Amino acid sequence: MVLSGGACVSIYSERRYVSVDLDLVNLRLAKRRRIREAMEAIGFSEQGRHFAHPDTVYLVEFPPGPLAVGSEPVKEVVPLTQETGTIRMISATDCVKDRLTWYYHSDDAQCLEQASLVAHSREIDLEEIRRWSEGEGKLSTFESIEDRLKR
């Protein structure tokens, strides 16, 4: 499982954006039944595509793989180690691409703001994002927002 989506924005932006859902991409094609059993064993209940727990506002979702941003596979998965363990998550650069996917293809202005928060908080590869944007057919859109992504 790899963490992606808004939870990565929360981590990379040092909580300047707060997401209440955790998207753990199911790379190994674990059966939904096994995920449900594991989540129920720790007090979560299935509610549609999410799992909820009565003691937290956070929802957990297990979208199926492949792990991708737009039409490309994620380039890098990085570990985040805390006292409680290690979780694998998409890189800051891929997090920006993930948010820009929603901006490019759904005109989601909030996702552009989230991409900017990550870009201003972490080192990202802007040339990689340019290359990827061109592959998505969105080079002119990238060029119009590029300054917003610079530190």
Q: How confident is the model at residue 64 (pLDDT cuts 50, 70, 90)?
A: confident
Q: Over pLDDT 90: what percentage of the chain? A: 93
The pLDDT score that the predictor gives to residue 29 is 80
Give a yes or no: residue 35 inside a domain: no
78-128 residue pLDDT tens: 999 999 999 999 999 999 999 999 999 999 999 999 999 999 999 999 999
Q: What is the Cα–Cα distance from 138 to 118, expressed in whole angstroms?
A: 20
Give a yes or no: residue 112 inside a domain: yes
pTM for the full predicted model: 0.92
> Which helix (H) or strand (E) element contains residue 99?
helix 92-106
Q: Taking residues 46-70, report their average pLDDT.
A: 95
Q: Which domain holds residue 78?
A: 2-29+64-149
Beta-ladder partners of 140: none
Q: Do 1 and 26 form a contact (C-beta atoms < 8 A)?
A: yes
How would you label 88-116 residue by residue, b for 16+ Cβ within 10 Å and e otherwise? bbbbbbbbbbbbbbbbbeeeeeebbbbbb
Give a yes or no: residue 38 inside a domain: no
Give a yes or no: residue 10 inside a domain: yes
Tokens 């995920």 belong to: 35
Q: How confident is the model at residue 49 (pLDDT cuts 50, 70, 90)?
A: very high
The pLDDT score that the predictor gives to residue 103 is 98
Q: How confident is the model at residue 20 (pLDDT cuts 50, 70, 90)?
A: very high
Q: What is the Cα–Cα distance from 120 to 140, expressed in whole angstroms?
A: 21
What is the number of domains present in the chain?
1
CA angle 60, 108, 51 (to 5 degrees): 10
Give a yes or no: residue 52 inside a domain: no
Alpha carbon distances (Å) from 127 to 34, 85, 138: 41, 33, 14
State CA 48 to chain mean position distance: 20
Give a yes or no: residue 101 inside a domain: yes
The pLDDT score that the predictor gives to residue 75 is 87
Q: How many CA atoms lie within 13 A of 20 on its CB side?
A: 5
Q: How confident is the model at residue 40 (pLDDT cuts 50, 70, 90)?
A: very high
Q: Do 35 and 62 form a contact (C-beta atoms < 8 A)?
A: yes
Q: Taking residues 19-30, report their average pLDDT.
A: 90
